[in-house]
A and B are shown apart, each in its own frame.
Chain A
């Protein structure tokens, strides 16, 4: 990709970014307690005494959360650590009843890995994963219901999280955006996290620093917490990097601090300076012995891995002949990819892809439907393409048929039969129409013969119109030319 450089009158600067992403684990119950993880229930409905930090309550690790973490680690092409430990991260905040978060510190469950990102110009880049650990989520604070009080809902307290830490490998806002989209896509394929940033089930902390272009130094970074959309992450990087450049160029220094991104202004403002920075005093969690996994366990999870977006994309390109662009659009979302595979089975896959990305997506957008709610089934979309391939209907008539399909959900065959839309491929029938139009328009025929050859298109149009669009366009073209040139 072309380089992202901040250029000012005084010099050129390069941007260095690393991300930390918190992903809520999909599980029925919480990571250390038997309370439900359901989102959106009434306040404090799904809270166990463990989650409420009651004295004497002991955490017990949820087997499924471990499974989900290992599966995610494999999806990140990462090393699974057979030995990992839990630690306490100590801090006081009203939504953390026990005064500490159970997390992993020195020995995380997942080690180094990498994700390949797809950039807008079609190029790729590998982004390193530093580690991934599992931990518990905190409760939710609500600050805007009262001028003097904050309200705490502990339903989220204790929900399992996977925290993914990248290496500082990003050099442009677009790269971070592409990473988040790819990560979300992988997590959704794996069904380990639903990846909804607007509901907070995937949350992103962004670390930004800048350095003079071409240098190798690492300067002080600032962290922006909980930026909650891909677009905002990109905006936060762009604006924070500009702020650093301005400070340096005016002779100032960047202080390590936690900043907050304000989506309404696009700017960042200071949350917490380093001198007030938390001192988490991590120590090993005495209530949980180390987590030890064996090879057989890891191997069994490998066996249930699904085909991930990159592998699927490669297969669609190599085996089905899709373009790289079409393949990546289709593979980003697993439901779309599944729909496409069903629709293209036995049919011309490239044509099915065109219809899917074109008319089909436009129809869903217009009707504000998800692919699951589509009135047009995958089979029917495939059959529609088949009717065009077999010249039963023209591409133009197919658009009308598709319109009816999306109204009624009927099969294309049924619509074509009922409405009598079958393409006319009988030469004598088309010939009769062409002859009639030529006979009725001697002026245009004369003009054509004098050299206005683009009038041929007009004759074709008239013929198509008279056949109500049902004449085979290729045959009409040929016949018109033949007859006019005679």
Chain B
């Protein structure tokens, strides 16, 4: 599988990354180099082998259902680029 310029643009859009037009060509090359390497891995037969999710074999740690956070609106909103009436304010989003 090879990546074309169109796919680079699409991935950049989905990731909300700005890639200048003159950088697209080099981004495409980098993508393809990575994919070539993946292709080498594909030479191994992995039929009936489940994908490895994590190399960390530990089981999931669970927490009790207790309220241990919150009530720190000011700290939370401190990171808002814009804040009004205790809400995060963002440019109007209309679907």
A contact set with B: CB distance below 8 Å = 27-29, 33-36, 42-50, 52, 54, 60-66, 85, 90, 92-94, 141-143, 145-154, 260, 271-272, 279, 281, 284, 286, 288-292
15 sample A-B contacts, Cβ–Cβ < 8 Å, listed by A number: A36-B70, A42-B73, A43-B86, A45-B70, A47-B70, A48-B70, A61-B61, A62-B64, A65-B65, A148-B92, A149-B84, A152-B87, A281-B14, A290-B53, A290-B60
Q: How distant is A67 from chain B, measured CB to nearest CB, in Å?
A: 9
Q: How distant is A371 from chain B, measured CB to nearest CB, in Å?
A: 28
The reply to whether A141 and B67 form a contact with Cβ atoms under 8 Å apart is: no
Q: Which residues of B contact A290 (CB under 8 A)?
A: 53-54, 59-60
| Closest A residue by C-beta to B77 | A44
The 6 closest A-B pairs by CB, nearest first: A34-B68, A48-B69, A64-B65, A151-B87, A35-B70, A152-B88
Interface residue from A45, A52, A65, A149 paired with B91 (Cβ < 8 Å): A149
| Closest A residue by C-beta to B68 | A34
CA distance A427 to B66 in the complex (A): 70
The reply to whether B61 and A60 form a contact with Cβ atoms under 8 Å apart is: yes
The reply to whether B87 and A153 form a contact with Cβ atoms under 8 Å apart is: yes
Q: How distant is B40 from chain A, measured CB to nearest CB, in Å?
A: 21
Question: B42 at interface (Cβ–Cβ under 8 A)?
Answer: no
Question: B46 at interface (Cβ–Cβ under 8 A)?
Answer: no
The reply to whether B92 and A143 form a contact with Cβ atoms under 8 Å apart is: yes
Question: B93 at interface (Cβ–Cβ under 8 A)?
Answer: yes
CA distance A291 to B94 in the complex (A): 37
Interface residue from A147, A272, A289 paired with B59 (Cβ < 8 Å): A289
Question: B37 at interface (Cβ–Cβ under 8 A)?
Answer: no
User: Chain B: how many interface residues by the 8 Å CB criterion?
Assistant: 39
Interface residue from B54, B64, B68, B92 paired with A284 (Cβ < 8 Å): B54
A-contact bits for B68-95, CB 8 A (1 contact / 0 none): 1111110011010010111111111111
The reply to whether B60 and A289 form a contact with Cβ atoms under 8 Å apart is: yes
A-contact bits for B7-41, CB 8 A (1 contact / 0 none): 00010001010000000000000000000000000
The reply to whether A271 and B95 form a contact with Cβ atoms under 8 Å apart is: yes
Which of B10, B51, B65, B76 counts the most A-chain CB atoms under 10 A from its CB?
B65
CA distance A281 to B62 in the complex (A): 27
Q: Which residues of A contact B69 (CB under 8 A)?
A: 33-35, 48-50
Q: Which residues of A contact B87 (CB under 8 A)?
A: 43-44, 142, 151-153
Main secondary structure of the interface of B (DSSP, over half): loop
Q: Which residues of A contact B16 (CB under 8 A)?
A: 92
The reply to whether B92 and A63 form a contact with Cβ atoms under 8 Å apart is: no
Q: Which residues of A contact B48 (CB under 8 A)?
A: none
Interface residue from A44, A48, A61, A271 paired with B88 (Cβ < 8 Å): A44
The reply to whether A34 and B84 form a contact with Cβ atoms under 8 Å apart is: no
Q: How distant is B23 from chain A, measured CB to nearest CB, in Å?
A: 21
| Closest B residue by C-beta to A67 | B65
B contact set with A: CB distance below 8 Å = 10, 14, 16, 51, 53-54, 56, 58-73, 76-77, 79, 82, 84-95
The reply to whether A63 and B53 form a contact with Cβ atoms under 8 Å apart is: no
CA distance A148 to B53 in the complex (A): 43
CA distance A43 to B86 in the complex (A): 6
Q: How distant is A61 from chain B, measured CB to nearest CB, in Å?
A: 5
The reply to whether B94 and A143 form a contact with Cβ atoms under 8 Å apart is: yes
Q: How distant is B95 from chain A, measured CB to nearest CB, in Å?
A: 5
Q: How distant is B48 from chain A, measured CB to nearest CB, in Å?
A: 16
The reply to whether B90 and A44 form a contact with Cβ atoms under 8 Å apart is: no
The reply to whether B65 and A29 form a contact with Cβ atoms under 8 Å apart is: yes
- Taking A46-B70, A49-B69 as known contacts, 6 extra A-B pairs with beta carbons closer than 8 A to each other, sorted by chain A number, are A29-B68, A43-B73, A146-B84, A150-B92, A290-B53, A290-B54
Q: How distant is A147 from chain B, measured CB to nearest CB, in Å?
A: 7
The reply to whether A149 and B90 form a contact with Cβ atoms under 8 Å apart is: yes
CA distance A151 to B80 in the complex (A): 11
CA distance A153 to B83 in the complex (A): 11
CA distance A33 to B64 in the complex (A): 10
The reply to whether B54 and A150 form a contact with Cβ atoms under 8 Å apart is: no
The reply to whether B60 and A288 form a contact with Cβ atoms under 8 Å apart is: yes
The reply to whether B63 and A141 form a contact with Cβ atoms under 8 Å apart is: no
Q: How distant is A313 from chain B, measured CB to nearest CB, in Å?
A: 32
| Closest A residue by C-beta to B75 | A49
CA distance A50 to B68 in the complex (A): 12
The reply to whether B76 and A44 form a contact with Cβ atoms under 8 Å apart is: yes
Q: Which residues of A contact B79 (CB under 8 A)?
A: 52, 54
The reply to whether B59 and A63 form a contact with Cβ atoms under 8 Å apart is: no
The reply to whether A28 and B85 form a contact with Cβ atoms under 8 Å apart is: no
Q: Which residues of B contact A36 (CB under 8 A)?
A: 67, 70
The reply to whether B76 and A151 form a contact with Cβ atoms under 8 Å apart is: no
| Closest A residue by C-beta to B62 | A63
